[in-house]
């Protein structure tokens, strides 16, 4: 059964993007033994790969939406949809400001001339800010809220609210400072002072823009950056929040219950390991056993392969097929990738052999799959104690 977030290699758009990426390659002559592959223009390959990743995200979002039951999608829409009268507070605010403006126009002698001018300017500014906030809310509901991709919804809401905030600040400055020259000079001096004092927040804001445009990670991705490892749950203007997995108190990939925050500027100085790349959201995993040299290695290999294949089913074949297609479109196309779980043997300094089974799995299911496979592998191998010799407690 195909995973719901998998990119369909048979999708026409995916095929077109892959073929376009492969056309940028030239096949080396068969009589030349080399591991290097000459590529087409780097810029063209980068653009095509970005297009392929975009298609993968769209296909994943579409498949996820179509695979959900209609009742579940309907219930989810009802839960997320705002109240029908969401615009009433904005209308009430505009009505109050409009009435105040009319009273000010009808009774110009109620206040002094200079005070009336200032109040009129303040009321117009408040009306402008109210309109901006109302329009922002309407775009969030009827535009951004209808997008299927939750990551796109999250990012567009951030950008929309940032734009509304900047426009509101512009209106406030226009209301408070009639003389624009003085306002610009004052803001310039203030910006110069704050630029030195707030270097890290400013660079973190630039990092947020970089995260939106280059997408080293998105909300929902499982990443590792520095000593932090977990699932991204929020990317704000200044920092990123992840739900930690593993950590100091756990040896598995289970959520630890702790939240980790780090400034967005870290993306410029620290490598980001993303386990949720849309084109290939899987990782290789291994399970290792120590056995004696006298064990029947052929029996161990066949048993471990059959147990792993039975547990993983045909999903690994589909994942490896996509992995090979991606490799064939890059210079790293000489790697041998098996379509089924493979068993390897390595020597161990403690005079034992290591029997290792390698397989492909989704990052968020790695711990559960590894635990299930370990139990089934031990059950199958312990069923033949004369052919599989494990270290005993008094021999370790």
- Same-domain pairing of 289 and 265: no
* Pair (274, 299) in one structural domain: no
Tell me phi and psi for residue 141, to 5 degrees. -80, -50
Taken in order 353, 282, 223, 220, the sign of the CA dihedral is negative
* Number of domains into which the chain is organized: 3
275 in the same domain as 353: no
Q: Is the pTM of this model over 0.75?
A: no
Q: Is 290 in the same domain as 264?
A: no
Cα 279 from Cα 274, distance rounded (Å): 12
**What is the secondary structure of 145-196 as a DSSP string?**
GG-S-HHHHHHHHHHHHHHHHHHHHHHHHHHH-S-HHHHHHHHHHHHHHHHH
Domain-embedded: residue 6: no
Same-domain status, 287 and 235: no
Same domain? 221 vs 270: yes
Q: Quick check: is 300 in a domain?
A: yes
Tell me the residue range of the domain where 90 lies.
82-197
187 located within any domain? yes
Does 298 lie in the same domain as 273?
A: no
Residue 359 lies in a domain: yes
Same domain, yes or no: 296 and 309: yes
Which of 281, 309, 335 marks a domain boundary? 281
Inside any domain, residue 208: no
Give a yes or no: residue 290 inside a domain.
Answer: yes
Residue 269 sits in a domain of what CATH number?
A: 2.30.30.60
Per-residue confidence of the chain (396 residues) as pLDDT tens digits? 444 444 454 555 555 555 554 444 443 333 333 333 344 455 555 555 555 555 555 555 544 444 444 444 444 444 455 677 888 888 898 899 888 888 888 877 777 777 888 888 888 889 999 999 999 888 888 888 787 777 778 778 888 888 888 888 888 877 877 665 566 666 666 666 666 566 778 888 899 999 988 889 999 899 999 989 999 999 998 999 999 988 887 877 788 889 999 999 999 999 999 988 777 778 889 999 999 988 999 999 999 999 998 888 777 777 777 777 777 776 665 566 677 888 999 988 877 899 999 988 888 888 889 999 999 999 999 999 999 988 775 444
Residues 105 and 135 in one domain: yes
Same domain for 174 and 276, yes or no, is no
Residue at a domain's end among 197, 226, 250: 197
8 Å CB contact between 242 and 260: yes
Residue 192 shares a structural domain with residue 88 = yes
Query: Are 159 and 109 part of one and the same domain?
Result: yes
Asked if residue 54 is part of any domain, the answer here is no
């Amino acid at each position: 059964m195909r995973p719901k977030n998998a990119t369909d290699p048979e999708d026409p758009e995916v095929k077109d993007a892959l073929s376009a990426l492969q056309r940028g390659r030239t096949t080396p002559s068969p009589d030349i033994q080399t591991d290097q592959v000459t590529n087409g223009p780097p810029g063209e390959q980068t653009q095509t790969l970005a297009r392929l990743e975009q298609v993968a995200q769209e296909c994943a979002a579409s498949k996820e939406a179509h695979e959900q039951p209609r009742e579940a999608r309907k219930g989810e829409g009802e839960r997320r949809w705002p109240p029908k009268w969401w615009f009433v507070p904005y209308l009430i605010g505009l009505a109050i400001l409009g009435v105040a403006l009319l009273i000010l126009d009808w009774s110009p002698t109620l206040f002094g001339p200079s005070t009336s001018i200032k109040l009129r300017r303040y009321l117009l500014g408040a009306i402008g800010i109210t309109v901006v906030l109302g329009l922002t809310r309407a775009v969030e509901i009827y535009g951004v809220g209808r997008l299927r991709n939750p990551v796109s919804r999250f990012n567009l809401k951030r950008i929309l609210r940032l734009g509304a905030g900047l426009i509101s600040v512009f209106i406030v400055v226009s209301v408070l400072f009639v003389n624009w020259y003085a306002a610009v000079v004052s803001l310039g001096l203030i910006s110069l002072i704050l630029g030195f004092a707030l270097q890290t927040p400013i660079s973190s804001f630039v990092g947020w823009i970089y995260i939106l445009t280059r997408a080293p990670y998105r909300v929902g991705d499982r990443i590792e950056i520095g000593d932090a490892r977990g699932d991204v749950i929020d990317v704000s203007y200044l920092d990123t929040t992840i739900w930690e997995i593993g950590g100091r108190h756990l040896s598995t990939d289970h959520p630890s219950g702790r939240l980790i925050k780090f400034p967005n500027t870290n993306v410029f100085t620290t490598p980001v390991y993303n386990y949720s790349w849309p084109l290939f959201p899987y990782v290789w995993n291994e399970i290792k056993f120590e056995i004696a040299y006298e064990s029947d290695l052929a029996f161990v290999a066949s048993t471990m392969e059959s147990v792993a294949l039975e547990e993983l089913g045909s999903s690994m074949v589909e994942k490896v097929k996509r992995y090979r297609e991606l490799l064939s479109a890059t210079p790293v196309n000489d790697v041998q990738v098996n379509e089924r779980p493979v068993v390897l043997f390595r020597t161990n300094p403690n005079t034992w052999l290591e029997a290792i089974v390698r397989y492909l799995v989704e990052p968020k299911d790695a711990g559960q799959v590894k635990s299930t496979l370990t139990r089934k592998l031990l059950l199958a191998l312990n069923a033949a104690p004369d052919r599989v010799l494990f270290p005993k407690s008094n021999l370790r």
